[in-house]
Homo-oligomer: A and B are copies of this chain.
């Protein structure tokens, strides 16, 4: 049976890349040639995936961008395409789900059985029994929100409790209590390198999904220094908009490939 963590470790080694390409398709930003195609979302994302796969070690489709356009079928097609044409590159479904156990079972079925994602992002606010149903899907990854890249993330995640901020409590729970499956990861934004360092100190080699470089302005150098493990991996460094909308015309695939290659190289420069 395949394991998300093993697949991810293999991908990091084989590709020599820590780049996770985020797939946030917005039809109003597509080049004109795609605009009126019925499966434009799938066509756009598939083209981006094929162009950037040589420089990436994972892909992260964000489900809201598909759901807002009634394009769940295109998300299914897209993930099937990645598995078929880029085997060994794990797919993280960015859904940030969080609900009581009986409902979490349904969300886990959605992510792992319907969409065939290798991992899913989840929200910790409802506690461990809202996360446990995902762990029952053997070999599947669960990536828990810890310190998010947005400004408002501080509203709750920075509150002090028991002498440390809430996001560090979440990191501690994930490392010490919630990771019986060994398939957990955490989301920690690149906009806060000091906090990446604090989380890395708490969670050992646990994979960190790090959004916020590129359009959100995170510092790649500081991020890599703060987040790398002893094996010089341990991070899924995500860039979405800065890669997929690097070009606005019919050359969008080439522009995305160049942006992905440059981002991979920039990350590797600091490893």
Contact = CB atoms under 8 A, between A and B. Distances in A.
Contacts of A102: 24
A125 B124 contact: yes
B156 A169 contact: yes
A149 B100 CA distance: 8
Interface of A: 24, 62, 64-65, 67-68, 70, 72, 96-104, 106-107, 109-110, 113-114, 123-132, 145, 148-157, 159-162, 166, 169-170, 173
26 contacts: A62-B99, A62-B106, A64-B103, A64-B107, A67-B72, A67-B107, A67-B110, A68-B114, A72-B72, A96-B99, A100-B148, A123-B123, A123-B126, A124-B125, A124-B155, A125-B145, A125-B148, A126-B152, A126-B153, A127-B150, A127-B153, A128-B155, A129-B150, A132-B152, A159-B161, A159-B169
Given A130-B152, A159-B166, A159-B169, 16 more contacts: A64-B97, A64-B104, A67-B106, A68-B114, A98-B125, A123-B125, A125-B125, A125-B157, A126-B150, A127-B148, A131-B152, A156-B166, A159-B162, A160-B162, A161-B166, A166-B166
